[in-house]
Amino acid sequence: MSIEALTGREEEIRRLTQCMNETNAQLVVLYGRRRVGKTFLVNEFFDGRFDFLLTGVYNEKKEVQLRHFAEELASHLRAEVPIPRDWSEAFHLLEEYLSSLPAEEKKVVFFDEMPWLDTKMSDFLPAFEYFWNHYGALTHHLVFIVCGSASAWMTKNIDKNKGGLFHRKTCSLFLEPFSLHQTEQYLLSRGISWSRYDIAECYMILGGIPYYLSLLTSEKSLHDNIDNLFFRKRAELWDEFAQLYRTIFSSHESYIRIVEALSSRRHGLQRNEIAAKARIADNGKLSEMLENLVNSDFVRIEAIFQGRKSELRYQLRDYYTWFYFKFIKDYPGRDEHFWRNSYQSPAKIAWCGLTFEQLCKDHIPQIKQKLGIAGVLSESSSWQTHGDEESDGAQVDLLIDRKDHVINLCEIKYSLNQFVIDKDYDLELRNKIGAFLRATKTTKNIQNTMITTYGVKQNKYSSLINTQVTLDDLFSPSL
């Protein structure tokens, strides 16, 4: 195992090591967004040494998948293996092969991209359920790893299976994108030493997705790297979007319409708004698609302070998708130095401000740590009220409602320098606080918190701010 290659995956290494130290059978479920590094993690941890490895092939028929199964088994047996007629016969052959191995030695089986094996009318899942209950779960020293980018399939059919695999998994690993801290460590391991401002901008484009980060090179600046990945001719990530959704979701066109609708409103949409904007019926199918997007980490559900369930908003969470709709989809043929030349463009400045808010919401543990409330039970949400004849509308970007009778009202501002609170902004903040108190009638203590890149410049208006969080604080490792 190459520990250096697995920077940022210490917890997953610990869990996999624990599974390998068990003597009873282990069914390990590994899932997460495409490109997040699932296959890389398993291959590096086991150094590519498996007693059996099968990788599903996207959009191939059962017969093709079974042929690959036979070829893999033949390579281990060093003998010809007839192509199984169905998956029941295939798992029977796998059982015979595993039974022939030394009983007291660890046996590791890896089924990668398992959702792609479960093709229409293949009966793959019932065959696997029977195999595991009849043989796998009873076999000591067997570690069976199932992996897939289609998180919806993995969650429904393996992780939360209500049938033959109910409560059968022994370890469930949802591989999340890197945090800012992990991203910084990963880049350093590749010889890339950028300022935290540049790393944050990089994160707001690529997210903490290891595959995307692996395409960066230390010989180029951040801006030149982004131009190279997105805007030069035949760039690696120019057409990534089509593959990203097509290979994860069936009926991917509907999913794309949903995320495109969400990309038009950074603060999110309610369910009925999504249905109207994406031209999708507001029924159980929409519920399923939204749940799948949330489970796959492309979308988040944001609670509204004191709001009803019907007022929940869905927000686009995936940084690459947001960047694609903002700067790529409708702009083919852009200059190959587009990003470098967009340094102070209004479009980029607006995008930075909105995406930095997303960055902060993905690092709430770090924000709480800086505020000294990491151990305090709390709920995060947003809040807004519409204006009337007596007052303007108001919105709170991030609200941390704490069990110690305090609410942090967080203002999030992205700036090239220290943020300056002037007379107008001071009045805006005071009006917002007043509107919040009137509308919510809360009796909790209010703390005004500013989350900025470089802090708030001290002046006669800055005293309104009780606590501050800066970009550096977001780089703290999670506790």
- Are 97 and 214 within one domain? no
- Are 191 and 324 within one domain? yes
* Boundary (domain end) residue, out of 174, 205, 233: 174
- Are 367 and 351 within one domain? no
* Boundary (domain end) residue, out of 130, 156, 174: 174
With a CB cutoff of 8 Å and minimum separation 6, the contacts of 143 are 19, 20, 25, 26, 28, 106, 107, 108, 109
- Are 411 and 424 within one domain? yes
- Are 220 and 208 within one domain? yes
Is 259:298 a contact under the CB 8 Å cutoff? yes
Q: Residue 397 maps to which CATH number?
A: 3.40.1350.10
Is 425:415 a contact under the CB 8 Å cutoff? no
pLDDT band per the 50, 70, 90 thresholds, residue 374: very high
Give me the percent of the chain exceeding a pLDDT of 70: 96
CA distance 6 to 15: 14
- Are 98 and 83 within one domain? yes
pLDDT band per the 50, 70, 90 thresholds, residue 8: confident
- Are 185 and 143 within one domain? no
Q: Residue 210 maps to which CATH number?
A: 1.10.10.10
- Are 301 and 285 within one domain? yes
Tokens 């998956």 belong to 87
pLDDT score of 4 more than 60: no
* Residue 253, in any domain of the structure: yes
CA distance 314 to 265: 10
Using a 10 angstrom Cβ sphere, with 0-12 exposed, 13-18 middle and 19 or more buried, the burial of residue 168 is middle
Q: Is the dihedral of CA 452, 454, 458, 459 positive or negative?
A: negative
- Are 321 and 396 within one domain? no
pLDDT, one tens digit per residue, over 45-89 is 999 899 999 999 998 999 999 999 999 999 999 999 999 999 999
- Are 342 and 211 within one domain? yes
User: Which two structure tokens, joined as six digits, stand for 443?
Assistant: 């009796």
In this predicted structure, what is the pLDDT of residue 161? 65
Is 163:143 a contact under the CB 8 Å cutoff? no
- Are 191 and 332 within one domain? yes
Range of the domain at 85: 4-174
Q: pTM of the prediction?
A: 0.91
* Boundary (domain end) residue, out of 362, 386, 417: 362
pLDDT, one tens digit per residue, over 170-209 is 888 999 999 999 999 999 999 999 999 999 999 999 999 9
* Residue 479, in any domain of the structure: no
- Are 289 and 344 within one domain? yes
CA distance 413 to 415: 6
Q: Residue 51 maps to which CATH number?
A: 3.40.50.300
